[in-house]
Structure 1
Amino acid sequence: MILALALLALFAPQQTADPTLPPATAHVRYTVEGHGVQTYNCTAQNGGFAWVFEEPAAGLFDPTTHQQIGVHTAGPTWTWSDGSSITGKVLQTKPSDNPANIPWLLLETHPTGTTTGALSNITFVRRSDTQAGQAPTSGCDAKNVNVVLRVPYAATYTFYSTN
């Protein structure tokens, strides 16, 4: 019996940790729902054409009250209704299980501006549970150079601090 359990453990598929989870020292401060668009521009590149990501534009909503409490914009930047703001740098990505969905991300953040508030001590943001938002796989060609496409998406944004 012990040998059978040891062999089962040896040959069982290994679960890989989600790279978009923050360090164990991080604590959840806020979880919000993001609803908006991912903006792409049809661009000539490398002898062909591709939809190139430009920026997000989303409202951030309290999952309980459904009231808007902030926005997510280019940078990437998150700004709360109290005026506090952070920018992020991508540390990790994980493809969504559905190729139509944008990837999950873990971002390290830093405050912007001088306003203190809800986001002042946030050190990580995680984008997860993404729905839609990917650029189409076709439609960007010589006739459509510089066409801007806004693709609706939704995601969960979790804000963490390490203090």
Structure 2
Amino acid sequence: MPRGLMTTPTSVLLRATPLPSLLAWAGLAHAQGVPAPAVPDAAKSLAFAHAQVVDAPEVPDAIKVQPGEKVLLRARASGVQIYVCGTGTDGKPQWTLKAPQADLLDDQGAVIGHHSAGPSWQHRDGSTVNGKATAHVDAPDRDSIPWLLIAATSHSGRGVLASITSVQRINTHGGQPPAPSGCTSSGTGRRVREARVPYRADYYFYVAGAN
């Protein structure tokens, strides 16, 4: 190295470079066939979250979010609603929802997370949001589960779902419990029968005061 010529370590350049420039630099390097700089995980998460911002859907008033809340992420769910057969308050056998179990997909069909009991949603970046349904409306298709408004109750992790305030479940297809005639009462010492009903839905995740 010529005397007097100073260089800046790559790690310092990466920390100091704005995210758009850093991503552009990586793309240019790839196009020229030279090694691309490693984009920090935090930058990847920010870029992914930004790319998922979409317009809020048109929904019935009963399941609209609070003024000021904005969509941060939309995910399409594909999975099952799991029901167990038990005994209702009237003493008759009935199906009761045990849990949803579904993959969360982006617009290209890639798995970006999972939906499970709670209800709970976990993103592939490790962040999780749990919630409680606060309102519902019947789906246009009576054979499909209702559309929901869900208020966030707790979070974990530091990724995309860490600041979610509300979730909407809309555009549902399927998922309703089987006919009551297919339910077998658990009874003493008898194994509870379980049914796994396929369903699809769109989930919209909102944050308060997002730009």
- How far does the alpha carbon of each residue in 1:24-48 deviate from its partner, in whole angstroms, 9 at most, with x for none? 2110111110000000001122210
Shift of 1:145: 6.5
Count of residue pairs brought into register by the alignment:
146
Q: What residue is the counterpart of 1:152 in the other structure? A: 198
What TM-score comes out, normalization by structure 2 length? Answer: 0.65
RMSD over aligned CA atoms reads 1.8
**Does 2:146 align with 1:100?**
no
**What letter corresponds to residue 86 of structure 2 in structure 1?**
T
Percent identity between matched residues is 35
**Does 2:92 align with 1:48?**
yes
**What letter corresponds to residue 196 of structure 2 in structure 1?**
R
**Does 2:167 align with 1:121?**
no
Shift of 1:21: 1.6
Alignment of 1:31-42 (within 5 A): 31-42=74-85
Listed as ranges, the gaps of 5+ residues in structure 1 are 1-15
**Does 2:131 align with 1:62?**
no
Listed as ranges, the gaps of 5+ residues in structure 2 are 1-58
Please say which of residues 50-59 and 16-25 is displaced more in the overlay: 16-25
RCO higher in structure (CA 8 A, sep ≥6) = 1
**What letter corresponds to residue 87 of structure 1 in structure 2?**
N
- How far does the alpha carbon of each residue in 1:6-36 deviate from its partner, in whole angstroms, 9 at most, with x for none? xxxxxxxxxx943112122110111110000
| C-alpha separation in 2, matches of 1:156 and 1:50 | 27
Alignment of 1:9-88 (within 5 A): 17-45=60-88, 46-63=90-107, 65-88=108-131
